[in-house]
Structure 1
């Protein structure tokens, strides 16, 4: 089932995993060509720009769609649905807090006391990502903040772009949470095997979604379709998506910052600096040899 009979058929049926496999083969083939197929690359780039513009148009109408979706849900299921939403949001943020503790513990194991100033300097970028619901908005701030705790710029410049495509802790957490919530709200309970397969599926299909607004919703819809469930069920989470988007964006920032510092430590590219409050300003002082 991984290999599509036809890419057109896979796109028509929204078989997201088959599309990903096809894309990997095509991308590898293009990279192996000497001239890199410039006409094809230009066509794909222009197609991507068109789709992003279409997404922008859709998102401008999103508030009306969210209002209609919430009104329909409350009208059919009653005010008690608001309590369910409250539990969903609280459960997500509690789990995200647990993930932050795990990330801090992992940073402390690898970096030692350096984990404390690391979380100090990424405090502002994480808050910016939380308030704007966009991890992309915090990218320049992280780029400037990490060298202040000794992570060399070349490591930051290499790890962060990769992390924004392949290390989306918050988005992965949200996609799994939202999908399980949607299925259980409609009385569909997935087995443990199905949940594990869903996790593996989302690890593949969620790559690169940080740069596209509300792209998590598209991934969730594709996951529902893969399990034979209606795409329209996505309406259940539209009303609280922005609240959760804020948290997952901040988590992506924290995860990628920790990853950059850990890679710098492993590669011997972590400068010795004196622990200090990053809000004091100035360049950190070098420790004596």
Structure 2
């Protein structure tokens, strides 16, 4: 008799549903929060433990395999060009949806609860003074171990790529080093599969805490903002990403089916880090070379957060509308230009969208107090933003791979929806 097995996606859904139920039952109960919080933290800490070793090992192996500094430079240039094009489109979509649907129009601020945003203000003040030159300089770590400890993904990518080039440059002497990092990569993917067994428990804890803290009712006063935000994100995935996918010759919906487990987990945890190792594996299985996957995905976590940048544009106009401030098209384009700069290089900072919004609102003279009104539902909105970010970076891997002429589509894997078990070695 064949043993019945529940897939990871269904396990996560069960954890999600139970978390909502338990959180609703214990709404406002601090004891429940203190019990549920460690369950989510346990999973997030376990994922963060394995992400950096996988990224470092994968980039070194991928770049050393390419063995050509010119090729790596070309890859980096193409990646950043694509990221900037899609970022501009995402910002434009956010502005268009905010202008068409006017989510902040007629909002009674007295009916909204306010939350503290002081925890983000110091980082935002620093972010206001950032320039493109600052972002470029911060890519080069003065202390690589500090960068690893802080999870500074851009600095880690830069050092790992440089190290990989060095391994390739010394030829046969570098083979033992390459073999070591290949072993690290394979080992960490095995550890990933082990950690993923905790995913349903982590989702249960994280969603339970969110619902018990804020309650479903917190969505009601800001329901229009939530609907417009999710509508914009759905449009971006179903229309913009579909067009891009068609251009590079892949069926977006089949790709989404391959990534269904990871997208559901990203949505539930509001964290792209939780799915990075498995997305890297699946994009390789789909036909992208390791050298491109290991470079594009980690870099995208800082430079290609499509869902986050779209929301930042939309939220800026929402706050202006809520306070009755009319912004001209040139002022809105100014916000868009500012967000292109301020949204880069701080992906490792908790509450990234809030930090960016605080810096942006301060710079353009919009009331930063408006953020306090939407802080309560930010976690709900962040769930959707994270899904768009993951889809955008996964698609970016295929685009850059095709641009480099190195994408060999695994049709069987795509048609089967990536249903095989993740095996390594």
TM-score of the alignment, normalized to the shorter chain, above 0.5: yes
The equivalences for 1:35-184 within 5 A come to 38=142, 41=143, 45=147, 83-101=220-238, 102-113=240-251, 115-184=252-321
In structure 2, the residue matched to 1:271 is 408
Contact 1:163 1:256 in 2 (8 A): yes
Deviations 1:40-90 (A, max 9, x none): x479759968xxxxxxxxxxxx98xx87xx9xxxxxxxx9x9655111100
Within 1, Cα distance between the matches of 2:338 and 2:144? 29
Structure 1 pair 192–258 and aligned structure 2 pair: CA distance change class (3 A): same
Corresponding position: 1:196 with 2:333: yes
Partner of 1:18: 129
Query: Structure 1, residues 98-154: CA drift from partner, whole Å, max 9, x if none?
Result: 0001102211121245x4432221222111110100111111111111122111222
Deviations 1:210-258 (A, max 9, x none): 3332111011111111122333221011011001000000100000000
3-state SS of paired residue (2:406): coil
The aligned length equals 238
State the distance in 1 between where 2:132 and 2:289 align: 35
Q: Give the TM-score of the pair, scaled to structure 2.
A: 0.50
Structure 2 counterpart of 1:208: 345
- Specify the SS of the correspondent of 2:249: helix
How far apart, CA to CA, are the structure 2 residues paired with 1:184 and 1:12?
A: 26
Coordinate RMSD, CA, aligned: 3.2
Label 1:121 to 1:222 Cα distance change in 2 as closer, same or farther (>3 A).
Answer: same
Distance 2:419 2:396 in 1: 25
Which ranges of structure 1 fall in alignment gaps of 5 or more residues?
Answer: 1-10, 50-61, 71-78, 284-289
Deviation at 1:22, TM superposition (A): 5.8
1:111–1:265 CA contact under 8 A, matched in 2 = no
Residue 317 of structure 2 corresponds to residue 187 of structure 1: no
Q: What's the CA shift string for 1:165-198, capped at 9, x where partnerless?
A: 1111000011111111112111112111111111
In 1, Cα distance between the equivalents of 2:135 and 2:304?
18
TM-score using structure 1 length? 0.72
Which sections of structure 2, spanning at least 5 residues, go unmatched?
Answer: 1-121, 152-208
**Relative contact order (alpha carbons < 8 A, sep ≥ 6): 1 or 2 greater?**
2
State the distance in 2 between where 1:158 and 1:12 align.
27
Partner Cα separation in structure 2 for residue 46 and residue 112 of structure 1: 35
